């Protein structure tokens, strides 16, 4: 019988930025007791996942081993870390541990999905720990762009692992705890086997800037503005929302929070005592009663989300408020790659209204929540682990981060989703490859990314759709002519006749000539009708549509 081992297995987040899900296990091979760190979502896009609501890691591997799972630990309340907890709770059914602010938001999600709120348990900051099977897990405060982020200290019989969570090195994060080098040095003192570390900003060469550096610039900008001021940022960046609100207050403006996520976050921060002294806010209705130069809106939708407050304000009226010539709109945010078009659409709509836009091309009004390259080096040095395992990054980030670790004289390894590492030796060793993937929340149903559902949607979007209906009588002879219904296809093609008529004519010609053998064979008939429909469409409109053939038999 083999001896115990310590394993690490990313199911999501190692190979993309989003849908984080990291498994740790300790025990005899195949019998390890397991914990899961984070269970987040990624967001769909029209190119790859049209119609999908949310994406998360395929946790089949974990579900099949649910009896070995002790608990879920959530490092912080960003959607890519906590967003799937409630959606997957039914399948895992273990306690969820988090700090107060994160737990507050996680409970709201559990309630929405009809799960018991008390499955989410609040943990105090280190040195408090939670025992989960062979693991002892502590939440060490670490600065990030949301309150109460934690790096996890995971003690195992094989030694200590530090899971950084998302972090930056910020000595003055405005809200929440500063990065505390002495605390981390203390954690590291007894020796750390592995540092599993955020890789997001490994390509950013300069040291990261503090959240607190933005205050003066934002205050100046808002102070000089003439009309209404609107600022958008990530709702979860409570510190930024506070900085913005205070800038408004200093400029003699009344502050309005717009967007459900914005109000929810501030509410959670106040409820959990994370946020004190937030400026008084007024309602949109009250804002309509005061001069626009005395109003500041802080709104959701920094990524151009079509239904968020910013997009609605850019299009027209929102909750009785409307932007006008001379107003100022500030993006206190970074556009995440892939969202550029949506953000630019808003900027142009604002431009049409005569609103001046300050966007993210300057670095004056936004700082990142992630550690830049020199900050990563600093954490490596501070924790001084035997090995560095980059996580929270696309392949390019993980690879660069592993190189950085190696350059610092530490073992670094690129472990992508599904790659199980044995952390027991001096360097990480691949123990297994596990099948992983993506689960789509699609309406109210969870489907696999490779189930073919989304593939068919993409095909209909690219090619259009034809329904061909044929009725056959008791003798398997065509009863009347076939007919077609088109969706997403041009009405006429090269022959200038209606495409539907040309299709029906060609299909009818075929049916009239078809032999008994074909007419009696559903599969054969369907295949031929599809082939002809596609071929006719190709010659008429230069494209082969998706075809649904419906054959009805009277017998």
**441 to each of 50, 84, 445, 482, how far by Cα in Å?**
12, 10, 6, 38
- Binding segment (CB under 8 A) for a second copy, from list 31-39, 99-107, 188-196, 333-341: 333-341
User: Which residue in 341, 426, 435, 474 binds a second copy (CB under 8 A)?
Assistant: 341
Residue position matching structure tokens 């190119």: 47
Residue position matching structure tokens 């073992």: 411
Q: Are strands 33-37 and 419-422 parallel, antiparallel or unpaired?
A: unpaired
Closest contact distance (angstroms) between CB of 138 and a second copy is 34
Residue position matching structure tokens 């980030």: 397
Residue position matching structure tokens 């969570």: 165
Closest contact distance (angstroms) between CB of 12 and a second copy is 15
Return the number of the residue (270 or 479) whose C-beta is nearest a second copy: 479
Cβ atoms within 10 Å, residue 67: 6
Beta bridge partners of 222: none
Positions 175 through 204 that interact with a second copy (CB under 8 A):
203
Return the number of the residue (103 or 230) whose C-beta is nearest a second copy: 230
Return the number of the residue (128 or 473) whose C-beta is nearest a second copy: 473
Coil, strand or helix: which one is 7?
A: strand
Beta strands in 315-444 (DSSP E): 328-331, 356-358, 387-391, 393-394, 411-412, 419-422, 429-433, 438-442
DSSP H/E element including 231 = strand 229-232
Judged by CB under 8 A, does residue 451 bind a second copy? yes
Closest contact distance (angstroms) between CB of 309 and a second copy is 20
Torsion, Cα 368 370 371 372, to 10 degrees, reads -50
Report the b/e string of 383-405 with b at 16+ CB within 10 A: bbbbbbbbbbbbeebbbbbbebb
Half-sphere exposure (Cβ direction) of 74: Cα atoms closer than 13 Å: 34
Judged by CB under 8 A, does residue 534 bind a second copy? no
Coil, strand or helix: which one is 20?
A: coil
Closest contact distance (angstroms) between CB of 376 and a second copy is 17
Size of the site for a second copy (CB under 8 A): 63
User: Which residue in 282, 460, 498, 514 binds a second copy (CB under 8 A)?
Assistant: 460
- Binding segment (CB under 8 A) for a second copy, from list 41-49, 146-154, 176-184, 235-243: 41-49
Positions 467 through 506 that interact with a second copy (CB under 8 A):
467, 469, 471, 479-480, 483, 485, 487-494
Closest contact distance (angstroms) between CB of 484 and a second copy is 10
Which contacts of 364-367 are long-range, i.e. CB under 8 A and separated by 24 or more positions?
364/214, 364/217, 364/221, 365/214, 365/217, 365/218, 365/221, 365/330, 365/331, 365/332, 366/214, 366/233, 366/331, 366/332, 366/333, 366/334, 367/208, 367/209, 367/210, 367/211, 367/213, 367/214
- Binding segment (CB under 8 A) for a second copy, from list 21-29, 42-50, 101-109, 120-128: 42-50
Coil, strand or helix: which one is 318?
A: strand
User: Which residue in 178, 358, 449, 458 binds a second copy (CB under 8 A)?
Assistant: 458
- Binding segment (CB under 8 A) for a second copy, from list 73-81, 95-103, 185-193, 346-354: 346-354
CA distance 14 to 392: 6
Judged by CB under 8 A, does residue 64 bind a second copy? no
Closest contact distance (angstroms) between CB of 550 and a second copy is 5
Half-sphere exposure (Cβ direction) of 529: Cα atoms closer than 13 Å: 30
Closest contact distance (angstroms) between CB of 337 and a second copy is 4
User: Which residue in 294, 386, 463, 508 binds a second copy (CB under 8 A)?
Assistant: 463
Return the number of the residue (144 or 401) whose C-beta is nearest a second copy: 401
Return the number of the residue (65 or 399) whose C-beta is nearest a second copy: 399
Judged by CB under 8 A, does residue 61 bind a second copy? no
User: Which residue in 361, 409, 435, 523 binds a second copy (CB under 8 A)?
Assistant: 361
Find out whether 298 and 289 touch, Cβ atoms under 8 Å: no
- Binding segment (CB under 8 A) for a second copy, from list 74-82, 157-165, 190-198, 340-348: 340-348
Return the number of the residue (55 or 245) whose C-beta is nearest a second copy: 55
**32 torsion bin: left (phi>0), alpha (psi -120 to 50), beta (else):** beta
Judged by CB under 8 A, does residue 542 bind a second copy? yes
Return the number of the residue (49 or 164) whose C-beta is nearest a second copy: 49
Contact map string, positions 82 to 111, toward a second copy, x by CB under 8 A: ------------------------------
Closest contact distance (angstroms) between CB of 534 and a second copy is 12
Judged by CB under 8 A, does residue 127 bind a second copy? no
User: Which residue in 18, 428, 464, 519 binds a second copy (CB under 8 A)?
Assistant: 464
Q: Pull the structure tokens for residue 372.
A: 């830049």
User: Which residue in 189, 283, 348, 495 binds a second copy (CB under 8 A)?
Assistant: 348
CA distance 429 to 413: 9
User: Which residue in 50, 157, 191, 252 binds a second copy (CB under 8 A)?
Assistant: 50
- Binding segment (CB under 8 A) for a second copy, from list 171-179, 220-228, 246-254, 441-449: 441-449
CA distance 121 to 107: 9
- Binding segment (CB under 8 A) for a second copy, from list 156-164, 260-268, 318-326, 450-458: 450-458
Positions 4 through 23 that interact with a second copy (CB under 8 A):
15
CA distance 189 to 357: 49
CA distance 534 to 9: 46
Q: Pull the structure tokens for residue 249.
A: 């207050």
Judged by CB under 8 A, does residue 347 bind a second copy? yes
C-alpha 7: how far from chain center: 26
Which spans of this chain sit near a second copy (rule: CB under 8 A)?
15, 45-47, 50-51, 203, 337-338, 340-341, 344, 347-348, 350-352, 357, 361, 394-396, 399, 442-445, 447, 451, 453-454, 456-458, 460-465, 467, 469, 471, 479-480, 483, 485, 487-494, 541-543, 546, 548, 550, 552, 554
């Amino acid at each position: 019988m083999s001896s115990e081992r310590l394993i690490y297995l990313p199911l999501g987040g190692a190979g993309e930025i989003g849908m984080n899900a990291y498994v740790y296990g300790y025990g005899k091979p195949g019998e390890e007791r397991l914990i899961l760190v984070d269970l987040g979502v990624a967001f769909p896009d029209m190119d790859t996942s049209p119609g999908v609501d949310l994406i998360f890691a395929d946790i089949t591997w974990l579900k099949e081993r649910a009896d070995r799972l002790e608990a879920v630990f959530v490092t912080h309340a960003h959607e890519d870390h906590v967003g799937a907890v409630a959606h997957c709770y039914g399948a895992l059914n273990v306690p969820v541990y988090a700090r107060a602010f994160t737990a507050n938001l996680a409970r709201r999600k559990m309630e929405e999905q009809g799960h018991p709120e008390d499955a989410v348990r609040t943990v105090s900051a280190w040195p408090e720990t939670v025992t989960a099977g062979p693991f002892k897990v502590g939440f060490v405060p670490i600065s990030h762009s949301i309150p109460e982020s934690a790096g996890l200290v995971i003690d195992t019989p094989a030694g200590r692992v530090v899971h950084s969570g998302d972090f930056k090195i910020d000595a003055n994060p405005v809200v929440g705890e500063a990065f505390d080098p002495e605390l981390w040095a203390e954690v590291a003192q007894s020796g750390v086997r592995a540092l599993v570390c955020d890789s997001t900003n490994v390509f950013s060469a300069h040291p990261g800037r503090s959240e607190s550096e933005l205050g003066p610039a934002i205050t100046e900008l808002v102070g000089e503005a003439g009309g209404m001021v609107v600022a958008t940022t990530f709702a979860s960046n409570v510190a930024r929302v506070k900085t913005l609100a205070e800038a408004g207050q200093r400029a003699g403006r009344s502050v309005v929070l717009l967007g459900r996520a914005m109000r929810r976050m501030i509410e959670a921060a106040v409820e959990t005592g994370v946020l004190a002294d937030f400026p008084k806010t007024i309602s949109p209705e009250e804002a309509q009663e005061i001069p626009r130069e005395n109003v500041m809106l802080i709104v959701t939708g920094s990524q151009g989300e079509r239904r968020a407050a910013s997009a609605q304000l850019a299009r027209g009226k929102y909750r009785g408020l409307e932007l006008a010539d001379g107003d100022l709109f500030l993006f206190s945010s970074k556009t995440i790659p892939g969202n550029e078009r949506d953000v630019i659409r808003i900027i142009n709509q604002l431009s049409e209204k005569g609103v001046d836009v300050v966007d993210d091309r300057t670095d004056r009004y936004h700082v990142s929540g992630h550690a830049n390259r020199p900050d990563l080096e600093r954490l490596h040095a501070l924790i001084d682990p035997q090995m560095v395992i980059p996580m929270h990054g696309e392949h390019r980030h993980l690879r660069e981060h592993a190189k950085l670790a190696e350059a610092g004289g530490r073992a670094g390894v690129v472990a992508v989703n599904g790659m199980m590492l044995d952390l027991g030796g001096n360097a990480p060793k691949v123990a297994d490859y596990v099948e992983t993937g993506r689960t789509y929340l699609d309406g109210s149903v969870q489907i696999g990314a490779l189930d073919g559902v989304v593939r068919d949607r993409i095909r209909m979007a690219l090619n259009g759709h034809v329904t061909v209906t044929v009725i056959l009588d008791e003798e398997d002879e065509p009863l009347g002519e076939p007919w077609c219904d088109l969706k997403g296809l041009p009405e006429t093609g090269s022959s200038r006749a209606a495409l539907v008529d040309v299709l029906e004519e060609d299909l009818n010609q075929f049916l009239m000539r078809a032999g008994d053998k074909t007419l009696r064979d559903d599969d054969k008939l369907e295949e031929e009708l599809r082939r002809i429909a596609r071929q006719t469409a190709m010659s008429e409109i230069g494209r082969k549509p998706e075809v649904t053939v419906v054959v009805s038999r009277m017998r």
